[in-house]
Structure 1
Amino acid sequence: MMGQVDRLWYGTGRPLWMLWPLAWLYQAIAGRRRKRALKANESEPPLPAPVIVVGNITAGGTGKSPLTAWLAALLKDEGWHPVILTRGYGARATQYPLLAGPDTPASQAGDEPVMLAAITGCPVVVDPKRVRAARWAVSQHLGNIFICDDGLQHYALPRDIEVVVFDGERGFGNGAPIPVGPLREPRSRLATVDFVVCNGSAVEGIEHPSQYVMTLNPTLLRHLQTGKTRPVDWLAGQRVKAVAGIGNPGRFFSTLTALGARVNGQAFPDHHRFAPEDLNVAPGEVLVMTAKDAVKCKAFAQDDCWVLEVSASFPDHFKKSVMSAVAGIRVSSPSE
């Protein structure tokens, strides 16, 4: 069942049309903040490393983190040493910047930073002020290229490459700005970005010379407590209690169903703080969750809890285009 936000923003029509004055105000404030940040950047010394920003112009989850992980792996294969910058939604660190690792508590760093650290093996620096995080990473010699996860509207951070991600199922939603619809920025913003990535399928109405479809492929099941793995075809015929606190839980449930599981899905808000009672299962069910949710549940999950691991894939020409763009702005060689 679609959540309330899905119904209001990603369904048909604009039931919140009476909030248009707030939408105009939101756009005006966002525009002024962008201009101030861009002007302030002119007086700041440039960062001594390229910056790739991954983000979206719509609110909610679109698949930014899998793309960030894919970019990190690509850059590592090409000899670079990537550092991931992130705000760390829900982070409650006592001080910033925070270097997050696979064992950092998600309550301290946020769920996505801990997940990205575990998946990529890259340094992940958490800080609401991404410029401060980048300069600290430089001072610590953590790497020589930055990937900023969910940083498109964080204009205080200079950037060399911008990648916008869309959920292929949701697209622009009802096409209205927040709070009437899901748009953080107008569609015209796409004219200034370098790449557009659509998660799952192309989005109608996007005209961009460099747009690509990202496919998320389920790769294996990992037991949350022991780390042992099973092939995804083990799910065929299984009764599965699936929980998801992500931007589009329905996509996760559909993936499990396509693998042959008999799914009892329970959706939670994005970045939900799970409690033990959220993971209760009926007799004969196994529990399956996303990697993003798993980092918050390991301390109290029951024995029969599995994590579905996924990986992003792209056509080869996207890899070539990304690396060509990086080569065009590099300020130092990967070996430096």
Structure 2
Amino acid sequence: MSEKVVTWWYRRRLVWPLWFLTPLSVLFTFLAAMRRLLYAIKLKKSWQAPVPVVVVGNVTVGGTGKTPTVLAVVEYLQELGFKPGIVSRGYGGTGPFPALVEQGVTARMCGDEPLLLAGLSGVPVAVGPKRVEAAKLLLERHHIDVIITDDGLQHYALARDLEIGIVDGERGFGNNWRLPAGPLRESVRRLKKVNWVLTNGPLGSKHKLPKSVKPIEMNLQVQGWRRVSDSSPIEKPDGEAALVIAGIGNPQRFFSMVRDEGILIDETRVYPDHYDYKVTDFFKVSNDYPVLMTEKDAIKVRSFARPHWYFLKVAMRFPDDFLREFSEQLTSISTNKREALNHGNSSKPS
């Protein structure tokens, strides 16, 4: 999706170039509602995993902070003694699917976000458009006791025990139209059904949630600069000004973070989300300025990175109240599922 269309989406009102897409948005809304109805009346079946499934997703397209949220949830679960695994769609990957993100797998095969999740979390990651197949592969090949699904809120084929909805505090829901005239995958009312709504930064006053929803603010914290070629930490990128690139859902947030670090930006370049960088994209990039990027971009250019290319490492931080409530609910669900599984096994004839 072009940056211009995304900018139009996140205007407060529907702009005229998008008027022609409204019939398709109406059709999209109808088809999505029919699909949800089929699952609600059991004409389509949802697969129930033997371990707890936690969905981290959103009702808008891209750029809300799901990836750092998933990483932070996984880290917290490990602190509690759980053995988590991650399921992701593998957007941008060529497959074959389902597949495990193992050594030798590239971003082109599995998608950039799963590769990043696997590398930073150290836990098993399985990818596939059909998340049930990916979850089954994960359980078959690894000893895990909880599944975290990255961006699976609308994937009803995989039953879930807990749902975390992510909202971009700055951009909110844009013009509140469904795809393709707006950024919404589902109605904002869908957030009434999730267990928690986390906002990436403070929610702007112009963005309205359903009255019964009480959002919890989380924040992305900077952890320092790293060299792209080997991830070694540096104090600050060298040079008086920098070229900053971003191939993510919300590049403007990243540019703002770079400025907040006190770095003068000479030029910015925006690429599509999940963009597959090539060496030729940088043929005309001068060596006189450092090139700055996100960690998601860094994993895709590492093989041809120059010494003065750097990425900004960030991590999501949650309020203690949310972590306490999340751990209590997940522990209870895990205990109940384990007891049900043991009871089922004990009742089978020997």
Q: Same fold by TM-score, threshold 0.5 exceeded?
A: yes
Any unmatched runs of 5+ in structure 2? 343-350
Distance in 1 of aligned mates of 2:255 and 2:20 = 33
SS in 2 for 1:162: strand
Q: Which residue of 1 aligns with 2:229?
A: 225
- 1:15-54 alignment, distance < 5 Å: 15=15, 16-39=18-41, 46-54=48-56
SS in 1 for 2:302: coil
Q: Out of 65, 75, 97, which is 1:63 matched to?
A: 65
Q: Which residue of 1 aligns with 2:347?
A: none
Quick check: 69-78 or 274-283, which moved more? Answer: 274-283
Q: Which residue of 2 aligns with 1:197?
A: 198
Q: Which residue of 1 aligns with 2:323?
A: 319
Percent identity, please.
Answer: 37
Q: Out of 274, 289, 292, which is 1:288 matched to?
A: 292
* Paired residue total: 330
SS in 2 for 1:299: helix
Q: Which residue of 2 aligns with 1:332?
A: 338
1:43 Cα deviation after fit: 5.3
Q: Which amino acid counterpart does residue 268 of structure 1 have in structure 2?
A: Y
1:59 Cα deviation after fit: 1.4
Distance in 2 of aligned mates of 1:202 and 1:67 = 17
Distance in 1 of aligned mates of 2:202 and 2:100 = 35
Q: Is the 8 A contact 1:50 1:145 kept in 2?
A: yes
Q: Which residue of 2 aligns with 1:174?
A: 175
1:210 Cα deviation after fit: 4.4
Quick check: 49-58 or 293-302, which moved more? Answer: 293-302
**Structure-2 change in CA distance of 1:25 and 1:34 (3 Å):** same
Q: Is the 8 A contact 1:103 1:114 kept in 2?
A: no
Q: Which residue of 2 aligns with 1:268?
A: 271
Q: Is the 8 A contact 1:194 1:210 kept in 2?
A: no
1:295-333 deviation digits (Å, cap 9, x = unpaired): 111112222111211001121111112112212321239
SS in 2 for 1:14: coil
Q: Which amino acid counterpart does residue 221 of structure 1 have in structure 2?
A: W
Distance in 2 of aligned mates of 1:155 and 1:70 = 24
Q: Which residue of 2 aligns with 1:305?
A: 309
1:141-180 deviation digits (Å, cap 9, x = unpaired): 3311000001011111100111111111110101111122
**Structure-2 change in CA distance of 1:175 and 1:118 (3 Å):** same
SS in 2 for 1:298: helix
Q: Out of 238, 241, 244, which is 1:239 matched to?
A: 241
1:47 Cα deviation after fit: 1.1
Distance in 2 of aligned mates of 1:74 and 1:91 = 28
1:177-219 deviation digits (Å, cap 9, x = unpaired): 1122111111211111111111122243124544211211110
- 1:202-213 alignment, distance < 5 Å: 202-203=203-204, 204-206=207-209, 207-213=211-217
Q: Which residue of 2 aligns with 1:104?
A: 105
**Structure-2 change in CA distance of 1:266 and 1:48 (3 Å):** same
Quick check: 252-261 or 215-224, which moved more? Answer: 215-224
Q: Which amino acid counterpart does residue 166 of structure 1 have in structure 2?
A: V
1:18-61 deviation digits (Å, cap 9, x = unpaired): 43222111011111122234555875663110000011111122
Distance in 2 of aligned mates of 1:44 and 1:152 = 13
Q: Out of 245, 253, 256, which is 1:251 matched to?
A: 253
**Structure-2 change in CA distance of 1:40 and 1:182 (3 Å):** same
SS in 2 for 1:79: coil
**Structure-2 change in CA distance of 1:304 and 1:196 (3 Å):** same
Distance in 1 of aligned mates of 2:78 and 2:278 = 36
1:102 Cα deviation after fit: 6.3
Any unmatched runs of 5+ in structure 1? none
TM-score (structure 1 length as normaliser):
0.92
Distance in 1 of aligned mates of 2:157 and 2:30 = 18
Distance in 1 of aligned mates of 2:36 and 2:88 = 19
**Runs of 4+ off more than 6 Å:** none
Q: Which amino acid counterpart does residue 239 of structure 1 have in structure 2?
A: A
Quick check: 65-74 or 322-331, which moved more? Answer: 322-331
SS in 1 for 2:300: coil
Distance in 1 of aligned mates of 2:7 and 2:311 = 28
Quick check: 180-189 or 33-42, which moved more? Answer: 33-42
1:89-116 deviation digits (Å, cap 9, x = unpaired): 011123x221114652100110000000
SS in 1 for 2:217: strand
Q: Which residue of 2 aligns with 1:6?
A: 6
Q: Which residue of 2 aligns with 1:278?
A: 281
Larger radius of gyration between Structure 1 and Structure 2: 2
